């Protein structure tokens, strides 16, 4: 990977890692469902007028927007609103990698490999340790809602596999047209018209910054750069950079929000990261070890 593209990969990692801190900041002034609606409205408009609709059936476009965009962030924003720390959210959300493996086996008939099973067991142990620490700077409801967000992301990954080769930027932009309506309906139902009016009329500079960052930096810029890297290099060379996202998320939450983890949560975080590393690199290590023995 060229130095320039390596720098772009690190820009994406930082943008997506800091994203969780920005969500927490945005939720201080805007309720979660309204924040979701504003994020995707700004991500879709005006970009949708300049990006051609991806060539795929509308049902797949709707499924993508309903899972990886609406479902993931409806659960994630709610989780962080009810007490999920930003740093832990960035880590627990990576459980999507293992839910994706499970759903791929169920719906696409893909086979598990040894490193997938080992990585899943290690990460599951780490998630169990983190989940049992409810009340130590984290609510159980927040933890469970974050797992639901990971499930939604994983389902969106299965939809993306069904979509096949398509312009990822167009998919993200047009997929952003789907979430605003359900987000607004849920905001009206759960948060109420009075709270919506109050939030919008009294929106502060930090909330505006959060919405702009989530729409343009985390969504559009992040996916544009990520799709560029995927178009230039093998997925196996690009995907490992996603392992750095929770590290940036934990570090930025500690630095900017003062979040501290208990010793048990640190242990659980190490196990989750170890499981992710085994899942990504386990096959490569096994092949190298086998080649040396041969």
pLDDT confidence of residue 136: 56
Q: H or E stretch including 248?
A: helix 244-257
pLDDT confidence of residue 166: 84
DSSP H helix total and E strand total for the chain: 16, 0
Tokens representing 270 are: 């190490």
pLDDT confidence of residue 261: 82
Cα–Cα dist 66/123, whole Å:
27
Give me the domain span that covers residue 128: 3-293
pLDDT in tens, 139-181: 889 999 999 999 999 999 899 888 888 888 899 999 999 999 9
The parts of the chain modelled with pLDDT lower than 50 are: none
CB atoms within 10 A of CB 7: 10
pLDDT confidence of residue 34: 98
pLDDT in tens, 250-278: 999 999 999 988 888 889 889 998 988 88
pLDDT confidence of residue 11: 94
CB atoms within 10 A of CB 4: 8
Whether omega for the bond prior to residue 46 falls within 30 degrees of 0, making it cis, is yes
Instruction: Please give the tally of structural domains in the chain.
Output: 1
pLDDT confidence of residue 92: 92
pLDDT in tens, 43-58: 999 999 999 999 999 9
pLDDT confidence of residue 153: 93
Buried b (16+ CB within 10 A) or exposed e, 241-254: bbbbbbbbbbebbb
pLDDT confidence of residue 112: 79
pLDDT confidence of residue 134: 58
pLDDT confidence of residue 292: 61
pLDDT confidence of residue 276: 86
């Amino acid at each position: 990977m060229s130095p320039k593209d390596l720098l772009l990969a690190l820009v994406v990692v930082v943008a997506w890692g800091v994203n969780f801190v920005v969500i927490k900041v945005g939720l201080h002034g805007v309720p979660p469902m309204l924040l979701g609606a504003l994020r995707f409205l700004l991500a879709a408009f005006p970009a949708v007028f300049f990006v051609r609709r991806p060539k795929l059936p509308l049902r797949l476009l709707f499924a993508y927007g309903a899972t990886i965009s609406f479902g993931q962030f409806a659960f994630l924003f709610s989780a962080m609103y009810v007490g999920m720390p930003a740093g832990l959210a960035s880590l627990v959300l990576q459980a999507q990698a293992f839910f994706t493996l499970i759903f791929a086996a169920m719906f696409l008939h893909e086979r598990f490999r040894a490193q997938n099973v080992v990585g899943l067991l290690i990460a599951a142990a780490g998630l169990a340790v983190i989940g049992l620490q409810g009340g130590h700077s984290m609510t159980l409801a927040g933890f469970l809602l974050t797992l639901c967000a990971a499930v939604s992301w994983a389902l969106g990954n299965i939809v993306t596999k069904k979509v096949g080769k398509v312009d990822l930027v167009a998919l993200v932009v047009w997929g952003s047209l789907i979430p605003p309506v359900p987000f607004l309906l849920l905001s009206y139902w759960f948060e109420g018209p009075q709270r919506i009016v109050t939030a919008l009329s009294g929106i502060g500079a930090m909330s505006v910054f959060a919405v702009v960052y989530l729409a343009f930096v985390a969504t559009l810029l992040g996916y544009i750069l990520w799709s560029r890297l995927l178009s230039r290099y093998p997925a196996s060379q690009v995907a490992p950079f996603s392992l750095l996202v929770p590290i940036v998320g934990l570090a930025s939450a500690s630095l900017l929000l003062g979040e501290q983890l208990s010793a048990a949560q640190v242990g659980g975080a190490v196990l989750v990261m170890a499981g992710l590393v085994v899942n990504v690199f386990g096959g490569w290590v096994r092949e190298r070890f086998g080649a040396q023995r041969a």
